[in-house]
Amino acid sequence: MRSRPPRRNPRELLNQILAILVGGFALYLVVTILWVIGYQIAFAGRIFPGVSVAGVEVSGMKPSDAALKLSQTLSFPINGKILFRAADRIWVASPAELGMVFDPTASANAAYDFGRSGNPFGAMMWQSRAAGLGADLPPVIIFDQRVAYNYLQNIAAQIDQPVIEASLHLDGTNVVAQPGQIGRLLNIDATMIYLGAQMQTFRDGEAPLIIREAAPRLLDVSSQANAARIILNQPLTITVPNYREGDPGPWTYDIPVVANMLGVNIVEVNGKAEMQVGLDPSALRLTLGELKTYVDRSAESARFTFNNDTSQIEPILASKTGRVMDVEASILAINQALAQGEHTVALVVSEQQPAIADSATGAELGITQLVTQHTTYFYGSSEARIQNIVAAAERYHGVLVAPNETFSMGAYLGDVSLENGFAEALIIYGGRTIKGVGGGVCQVSTTLFRAVFFGGYPIVERYSHAYRVTYYEKTVSGENDPDLAGMDATVYFPLVDFKFLNDTPYWMLMETHVDVAARKITWQIYSTPDGRSVAWESTGPTNVVPPPEPIFEENPELKADEIEQIDYAAQGADVTVSRTVMRNGQLYFTDELRTHYQPWSAICQYGSGTEDPKQAARRNKICLSPNS
């Protein structure tokens, strides 16, 4: 029988394998080190095989010889060409002009160091790669970026252009359009990156110029310029719609005036800028605001008189439709019309119908008979005062007062001026009786006040005069009745007004009748009686205070010893008037009017050189002392 070999221990087998591997690695390490040492000894002081710089072979050369060869061979910094291009413009510069300097010594030393750095294994790998495949090293250059930056700034000065927005302006009435310009800006920092990379290649080539473009919001405004020229090719005429004789306008604005109102606005439409041409709303608003004072008018009801024979009302003044101009809508309409080449444009106006038309009847309005009237007298009034009474009374003749309306005298009185038929007469103003336009109007307001008072209608606002005026206490005989003290009402609109309330369900028709020959004014109110009656009583003047001593003033317009009374004395007093209004036998309301009159001095003016004004006054029986 054959004997079997002894079985090996696995641990011993593993140890043997490890010993072989370690021995092999140690052998490889020794061989590598010997290779590196031997290779370096073989090429001591010389560049390893296969190494070149920028394509120039320097294998086996000493660094000094390699540096000399490189300096003689590589002339790229001086003779090379770097090209820049922008559209149809070209710039060519040598690398040296762009701040590039070639260092042959540093390049040769870099070639010499190739394969000599790092661990032995790495060194052997690079040495083997150079020997087999070759190793072309980049040249060592010095790049002065300040030089390149300055060169590119010169190019930028020729390329850069600002963004210019298209514009539109007027030279007189001529429309001048300026097209927009796309902006260009050379990005020097980005261009420097591409330039550095190109010069590292050590070859001629193009370095791209990085140019950023920016478009204006508006590039072309030729169509808007044409629109402006259409607007300015003829005058603008503005009219009232449905023009009738007596209406204001038309108003025509010449081309230079229209040109002054022309406006150009930049607006965003769907995220895009657009230029809009038209008349500037602010300028047009001012113009239309002036026209509005002529165009607008309140609706006016017809005016009537009451025919006592037929008990019917008869129109004496036709009703008027009111108008209100819509300024903003008119601005839009004018610009829309101009954009379409139209130069005659109607304003946008809304009509307001009057409350009462000419065809109304007394039965419809509840005007069936006279319900109250009163007469006051103005004996001794001047012609100017009488003229003012007539002018003021005409304002109210035939006026209607609606049910539950608070009637204001001031609202119908209008502007009290010479142009409106009034004259200068004595008025109370600033604590003095002076000449002013409209003296005598209060005769009319006092007459209405008394008609309303005795008719039993509520008084909303009433002011008495500052002092007792004899006109308002006169009776039909021309004598003064103290019981009429405190029964006056003054109007100085808009500061002072007289108002009353028509607290009935019926319309009121007011008539004013002035009898100049008889020196009287009568105010009549027609409506439907509702069973009211009035009882009243007055305290008469109480707390009577005599007037102060007369006042004498020098007036250089008067001659010596000439004297003239310009204001009259009046006693001060307090008056309380109570009123009880019954309706159908039942108490309706009561009210009380309290009046305080100031004591008033007579005032006389005398000419310069008058020795004794008081004596002159006594001779003329004017401005007498209350104690004389």
The confidence score (pLDDT) of residue 33 equals 63
Q: How far apart are CA 573 and CA 551, in angstroms?
A: 20
For residue 434, give the H/E element and its range. Answer: strand 432-437
Given 2.20.230, 2.120.10, 2.40.160, 1.10.3210, which CATH number is that of 532-628? 2.20.230
Mean predicted confidence (pLDDT) in 584-590: 96
Q: What is the pLDDT of residue 429?
A: 47
Q: For 539, list phi and psi in degrees, rounded to 5.
A: -75, -15
Least confident of 2-11, 399-408, 480-489: 2-11
Tokens 């036709």: give the residue.
Answer: 318
Q: Looking at residue 425, what is its pLDDT?
A: 46
| Strand 349-352, strand 424-429: pairing | unpaired
Nearest to 66 by CA among 43, 50, 46: 46
The one-letter amino acid code at 550 reads P
Q: Flag whether the pTM goes above 0.75.
A: no
Question: Residue 358: what pLDDT?
Answer: 92
Q: Which residue has the higher pLDDT, 130 or 214?
A: 214
Amino acid at 194: Y
pLDDT at 264: 81
Q: For 295-309, 325-339, 416-430, 550-564, which range has the lowest pLDDT when averaged over its residues?
A: 416-430
**For residue 589, is pLDDT > 90?**
yes
Q: How confident is residue 510, by pLDDT bands cut at 50, 70 and 90?
A: very high
* Residue 478 CA, distance from chain mean position: 63
E-state strands within 492-540: 499-501, 508-515, 520-527, 532-538
Q: Tell me, what's the pLDDT at 338?
A: 92
Residue 35 has pLDDT above 70, yes or no: no
Q: What is the pLDDT of residue 623?
A: 86
Q: Specify the pLDDT at position 509.
A: 98
For residue 167, what are the β-bridge partners?
178
Q: Which residue has the higher pLDDT, 133 or 416?
A: 133
Per-residue confidence (pLDDT) for residue 32, from 0 to 100: 58
Cross-strand pairs, 370: 526
In this predicted structure, what is the pLDDT of residue 434? 46
Report the range of poorest mean pLDDT among 18-22, 369-373, 571-575: 18-22
Per-residue pLDDT of 173-185, as tens digits, reads 888 888 889 999 9
HSE of 478, CA atoms in CB hemisphere, 13 A: 5
Q: Give the residues across from 177 on adjacent strands.
A: 168
Which residue type occupies 532? R
Residue 437 has pLDDT above 50, yes or no: no
Q: CA–CA distance from 578 to each of 195, 454, 595 (Å)?
A: 108, 12, 12
Torsion angle defined by CA atoms of residues 94, 98, 99 and 103, in that order, rounded to the nearest 10 degrees? -30
DSSP string, 567-584: E--B-EEEEEEEEEEEET
Length of the chain: 628
CB 368 within 8 A of CB 311: yes
Report residue 18 as tokens: 């490890």
- 626 backbone dihedrals φ, ψ, rounded to 5°: -65, -15
Find which of 101-105, 142-146, 333-337 is predicted with most confidence, using mean pLDDT.
Answer: 333-337
CATH (one of 3.90.1150.10, 3.10.20.800, 3.40.50.20, 3.40.50.300) for 222-352: 3.10.20.800
120 close to 33: Cβ distance less than 8 angstroms: yes
Query: Residue range 216-226: average pLDDT?
Result: 84
Q: What is the mean pLDDT of residues 316-343?
A: 94
- Cβ atoms within 10 Å of 421's Cβ, excluding its own: 14
Interstrand relation of 508-515 and 520-527 (parallel, antiparallel or unpaired):
antiparallel
Percentage of the chain lying above the pLDDT 70 cut: 91
- What share of the chain in percent tops pLDDT 90? 49
What is the domain partition of the chain in residue ranges? 14-159, 167-214, 222-352, 368-530, 532-628
Which tokens is 67 given? 């540096």
Nearby residues of 18 by Cβ (< 8 Å), 6 or more positions away: none
